[in-house]
């Protein structure tokens, strides 16, 4: 028993929601296809010029406020994103400076959609070792920067023209990827609790770099220079996702991990109040639920409103559940997720 406790949460979704019909203006897709194959109805995109440190700042302020704290009460930042403001440095120090926490350690973690699970483990270790007393864990994503269209005015509806045949073909080529991701940020504040029974009960975490080709942004520092005309021509700045393969891994590995984490906690699935999963595709979580024979109401979903917000997803969902009263003190939650890396796992936490 670790004494890890979530004492504050916040979320921020930038701008207005963009519907599936909005997307159908720039590529060959439809509201019906997207709803049926993913459960997504809308997503948010941050305006050009905003990045994850800006989104994270808004979510963090709400989290700090909800905990009744001031920024200076925090002594560590864990920043989770796969879409940082800059290739380097990480976005953690930028968030720290925005919060007036200059000098406070800020560490970026890179576990994509499984980010929160890894951050929980790191935060728990920092708290147990005494290296930190109160940690801000943030997940934030600005996926809009890799969307495969340039005609944002056509998507917005402010330009009624049709995209060029070339622009339409390019966006359509990447449509499986483009329709699932949205922008947003979620923030959690964790501290060591002395309340009996509260904390992380088990962890089941995995990474396998042999699966890296199933989801990655191909550009990188193996090339000189790391971005070239050729990279742009070949769209190597846009994530390459083998959607079906990732899907298959998710629906096989996640039920195994959930079972393993619950067993390691010395519990049965029935003992768990909530199964809070990463939201990549509603069909993934429905299959995980069915394979484990979990009651529908124990597996919350919010993908319809936000799409897949990668590292931001779990803290956004936790914030919703804390604020609407679903998540209560004393409950047991199993968090689970899988993402690029490939990283995946589950953890059982008593709140």
How far is the C-alpha of 23 from the C-alpha of 113, rounded, in Å? Answer: 23
Choice from 9, 38, 121, 351 touching ligand UT7 (CB under 6 A): 38
How far is the C-alpha of 22 from the C-alpha of 15, rounded, in Å? Answer: 14
- Restricted to residues 303-342, the positions that interact with ligand UT7 (CB under 6 A) are 308, 310, 339
| 179 binds ligand UT7 per the rule CB under 6 A | yes
The DSSP bridge pattern shows strands 274-277 and 332-339 to be parallel
Choice from 60, 119, 281, 351 touching ligand UT7 (CB under 6 A): 281
Tokens at residue 259, please?
């079972």
- The residues assigned a catalytic role are 113, 278, 308
Choose the binding region for ligand UT7 from 11-19, 32-40, 205-213, 298-306 (rule: CB under 6 A): 32-40
Of 2 and 20, CB closest to ligand UT7: 20
Of 71 and 243, CB closest to ligand UT7: 243
Closest CA to 175 of 314, 14, 25: 25
Q: How far is the CB of 163 from ligand UT7 (least distance, A)?
A: 15
Q: How far is the CB of 191 from ligand UT7 (least distance, A)?
A: 29
Handedness of CA 159, 164, 165, 168 (dihedral sign): negative
Three-state secondary-structure class, residue 118? helix
Choose the binding region for ligand UT7 from 10-18, 129-137, 246-254, 255-263 (rule: CB under 6 A): 246-254
* Residue window 182-211: x/- pattern of binding to ligand UT7, with contact defined by CB under 6 A: ------------------------------
Choice from 16, 86, 133, 244 touching ligand UT7 (CB under 6 A): 244
| 117 binds ligand UT7 per the rule CB under 6 A | no
Choice from 82, 109, 147, 180 touching ligand UT7 (CB under 6 A): 180
Of 76 and 247, CB closest to ligand UT7: 247
Closest CA to 120 of 102, 105, 139: 139
- Classify the phi-psi angles of 132: left when phi > 0, otherwise alpha if psi is within -120 to 50, otherwise beta: beta
Determine contact, residues 108/94, Cβ cutoff 8 Å: no
Element (H, E) at 61: helix 52-66
Q: How far is the CB of 30 from ligand UT7 (least distance, A)?
A: 6
CA distances from 57 to 189, 214, 274 (A): 13, 31, 28
For the chain, what's the residue count? 351
| 33 binds ligand UT7 per the rule CB under 6 A | yes
Q: How far is the CB of 107 from ligand UT7 (least distance, A)?
A: 22
How far is the C-alpha of 111 from the C-alpha of 118, rounded, in Å? Answer: 7
Q: Residues interacting with ligand UT7, by CB under 6 A?
A: 29, 33-34, 37-38, 113, 175-176, 179-180, 215, 243-244, 246-247, 250, 280-281, 308, 310, 339
């Amino acid at each position: 028993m670790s004494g890890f406790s979530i004492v504050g949460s916040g979320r921020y979704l930038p701008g207005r929601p963009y519907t599936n019909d909005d997307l159908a203006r720039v590529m060959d897709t439809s509201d019906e296809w997207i709803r049926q194959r993913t459960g997504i109805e809308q997503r948010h995109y941050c305006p050009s010029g905003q990045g994850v440190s800006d989104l994270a700042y808004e979510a963090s302020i709400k989290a700090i406020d909800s905990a009744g704290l001031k920024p200076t009460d925090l002594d560590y930042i864990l920043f989770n994103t796969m879409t940082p403001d800059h290739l380097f440095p990480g976005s953690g120090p930028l968030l720290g400076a925005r919060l007036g926490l200059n000098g406070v350690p800020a560490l970026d973690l890179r576990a994509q959609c499984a980010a929160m699970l890894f951050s929980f483990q790191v935060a728990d270790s920092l708290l147990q070792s005494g290296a930190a007393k109160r940690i801000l864990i943030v997940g934030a994503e600005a996926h809009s920067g890799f969307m495969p269209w340039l005609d944002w005015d056509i998507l917005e509806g402010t330009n009624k023209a049709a995209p060029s045949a070339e622009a339409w073909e390019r966006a359509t080529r990447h449509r499986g990827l483009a329709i699932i991701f949205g922008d947003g940020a979620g923030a959690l504040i964790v501290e060591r609790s002395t309340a009996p029974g509260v904390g992380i009960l088990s962890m089941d975490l995995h990474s396998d770099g042999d699966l890296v080709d199933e989801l990655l942004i191909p550009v990188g520092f193996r090339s000189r220079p790391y971005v070239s005309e050729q990279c742009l021509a070949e769209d190597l700045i846009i994530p390459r996702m083998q959607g079906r393969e990732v899907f298959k891994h998710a629906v096989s590995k996640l039920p195994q991990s959930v079972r393993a984490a619950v067993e390691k906690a010395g519990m049965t699935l029935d003992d768990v109040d909530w199964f809070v999963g990463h939201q990549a595709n509603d069909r993934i979580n429905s299959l995980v639920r069915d394979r484990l024979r979990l009651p529908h109401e124990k597996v919350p979903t919010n993908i319809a409103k936000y799409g897949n917000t990668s590292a931001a997803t779990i803290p956004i969902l936790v914030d919703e559940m804390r604020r609407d009263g679903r998540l209560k003190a004393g409950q047991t939650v199993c968090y689970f997720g899988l993402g690029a890396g490939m990283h995946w796992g589950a953890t059982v936490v008593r709140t």
